[in-house]
Amino acid sequence: MSLAIVFPGQGSQTIGMMSQLAQNYPIVKDLYTEASDVLGIDMWQLTQAGPIEELSKTENTQPALLIAGVAAWNIWKSEGGALPDLMAGHSLGEYTALVCSDAISFTDGVTLVRDRGRYMQGAVAEGEGAMAAIIGLTDDEVIRVCAEIAENDVLQAVNFNAPGQVVIAGSAAAIERAAPAMKEAGAKRALALPVSIPAHSSLMSPASEQLAERLNGIEVALPNIPVLHNCNVSFAESADQVKTNLVTQLDSPVRWVESVEKMKNEGVEHFVESGPGRVLGGMIKRIARGATVSTMDNLDTIQELTKTS
């Protein structure tokens, strides 16, 4: 049975995440300590005690989740888990996959995603950007409504997460208009997301330019386990292509449905989510029906998975 390990993006963070695993595997705190030293902030204290408002700042969320995903991957390896055929990640999770596949070093990874978060936050003034989840419309219907009501604002479908689940992003005014328009078009729900960053929209172009400059300063290699990229649903053929894909990803849609379908077409029958939460697992179950979906978010699950992998 072919195996893919996938890594979550922002939204999976919680206060107390990884605490149970840290009690049983010293590598968890070791990695948080290593990251804290290069970031200049106590990441373990932040993830365990909060406050949640501070953890949810994108410049903190991104490294916190990357560390968690890398820690779970290290536990998987220490327990003798099978080597996956593929890796992928949702948005930020793509960086975690690249660290776990040795394309980017751990310390470069945590500082890179911290800076990525800062670039994203700085690209749009506070209160001027927004995102919303649209439930119950097809991808094409969401795209059509966005085009019809955008007027002179940015309004785009940016995360194709699962059938009937699309996230839109753009200016706050356009997102406010979108909710009633999507419902009128037949959406079951249009939920404003608690973020001020219109991630993966064209409003992130200034952040993409900064990220490109930042990536020029770090060493990137081809991954030793193939990593599927969000922006083009393909595998990079060179280290330079890895960098280009990461830059493109920031102001391009996350094509998660296509990515899961691609992995399934590559022969993947078992998906394992590495890190806190079960967000990706729920999406994958709706996309790749018949595939086995598991999560590495607690001691019992990891030990059971590694015995059978």
Work out the number of other CB atoms within 10 angstroms of the CB of residue 3: 21
Catalytic site residue 90? no
Q: And the tokens for 266? A: 């590559």
Q: How many other C-beta atoms can be found within 10 angstroms of the C-beta atom of residue 127?
A: 8
| pLDDT at position 109 | 98
Mention every residue, 6+ apart, whose C-beta is less than 8 A from residue 308: none
CA–CA separation, 49 vs 43, rounded Å?
A: 10
**What's the 3-state SS for 129-175?**
EEEEEEECCCHHHHHHHHHHHCCCCCEEEEEEEECCEEEEEEEHHHH
Apex CA 133: angle with CA 89 and CA 109, to 5°?
A: 25
Model pTM? Answer: 0.96
What is the CA 36 to chain-centroid distance, rounded?
A: 21
Q: Catalytic residue among 12, 36, 101, 200, which?
A: 200
pLDDT in tens, 181-201: 999 999 999 999 988 799 999
Q: Encode 195-205: b = buried (16+ Cβ within 10 Å), e = exposed.
A: bbbbbbbebbe
- What's the confidence (pLDDT) of residue 296? 85
Residue 298 confidence (pLDDT): 75
Q: Which helix (H) or strand (E) holds 169?
A: strand 165-171
Phi, psi (degrees; rounded to nearest 5) at 138: -75, 165
**187 and 177 Cβ atoms separated by less than 8 Å:** no
- Cα(218)–Cα(221) distance, integer angstroms: 10
Catalytic one of 12, 36, 90, 91:
91
The answer to whether 309 is a known catalytic residue is: no
Positions in the chain whose pLDDT score sits under 50: none
**Cβ atoms of residues 136 and 187 within 8 Å:** yes
Q: Which of 116, 21, 104 is nearest to 60 (CA)?
A: 116
Mean residue pLDDT of the chain comes to 95
